[in-house]
Structure 1
Amino acid sequence: MAKSIDMQDLRKKVGAMSEREKWMLVITGFVLVVGILDFFIIQPMRDQRALFEQQINTVRSQQADFAQQQEELVVQIESDPAMVMQRQIEGLEKSIDTNEVRLKEFTTSLVTPVEMSNMLRELVNQNKGLKLIELENQAVAPLIDDAENQEDMANENETEFGLFRHPVKVIFEGNYKDTLAYVQKLENIDNKFYWQRFDYQVLEYPKARVTINIYTLSTQQWWIGSNES
């Protein structure tokens, strides 16, 4: 009952107050409530937000430092002679690999050196009117003989780098008709080769001696598995 009496006394005291005093009491109570809320709820939230902002700023500052360090490291790497040389080596290796692929594609359509030698012999043997006198695999030589020609031809056809000329000379005797048939068969083979020389000398009509020099191209620097007469 004491609590009830106190409340009654409080009501009486409040009721006895003037309007000004009542408003001051209300304002004081409001300020007190706001202060309590600010101290126990709002201020801790402000402190936590400030802490988060500080942490975010710290992370951003670290990120900026890392980015600057990365840029400095990239500059150092790019200016490092060893790295520059390594990139040049990698570029050269890539160019070499590309060039080798192109060389293989280019030589695929050509008759191989051994096939060319055997082909010349076989075509003579197939024609009863021809007599094989000589079949010689001649010295292999680079397609580009000197630095000046190499520079000029490089601008025209890069696939000619690393190619070697494999020449073959065949000499046989026979008449004009059989010689013409031989040449026509030679030109009709599927694989390509290059003419270098054709010499037709009449010995005693209608017999003639024919000398043919042809060559093919290969990445091999020597004859492999060939049989010479």
Structure 2
Amino acid sequence: MHVLILGGTSEGRRLARLLHGAPGLRVTSSLAGRVAGPRLPVGEVRVGGFGGIAGLTEWLSAHRVDVLIDATHPFAETISFHAAEAAAAAHVPLLAVRRPGWVPADGDVWHPADSLAEAAALLPELGRRVFLTTGRLGLAAFARPETEALWFLVRSVDPPEAGQPAPARMELLLERGPFTLEGEREVLRAHRIDVLVTKDSGGEATAPKLTAARERGIPVVVVRRPPAPEGVRVVTSPEEAAAAVLPAP
């Protein structure tokens, strides 16, 4: 049996470890290649896009994939919908691994948004010094006239590409998670942050910033995650995904 994991996440790497070496099982992990120096999973790895739905459909057939597992980031909406369409076209079962979203705790001051643009529109009423933790690819949403007076601390694994639209007043913080609570407290204190923007990525690796913001009474703009494609079976952990693939003992 050949299993293709669309990965690039901690869940994808953990799933590859759970399946690696299982008798009669070939596992290939695919990474989009958008991050320089990615953490590689164990086993066979391919890096780069497939060329849209048609390319992924062809790859599934040419490499005789028996099961496709979408373990991408909860906000990797395009590849998730491509996976659903390609799996249907190639008649390959599809399983999606989605870590649970975050839930507000007592003391949290959350402002939900349905998009990065909506998040940017909320900021002028919430603060002046913004800790932006939504990554480098969506910076254009914050390069708008109503946010010109705001200052942004932008955390990203890699720097933005040259010429990419970005906030007028911005400082880059190049870091890769997981992050500690003490470290997040220091970031908020040292940069005098008064509003945080995050995607509802879920998981523990980047959750300490929410606790740090709660402690300081800082409002948090939380961008809601897109839904999984209709009809796709969703599990919440790599362990559930592995159990669905591996034969019963």
Bigger radius of gyration? 1
The verdict on a shared fold, with TM-score over 0.5 as the criterion, is: no
More helix by share: 1
- With the shorter chain as reference, the TM-score category is under 0.3
TM-score (norm 1): 0.20
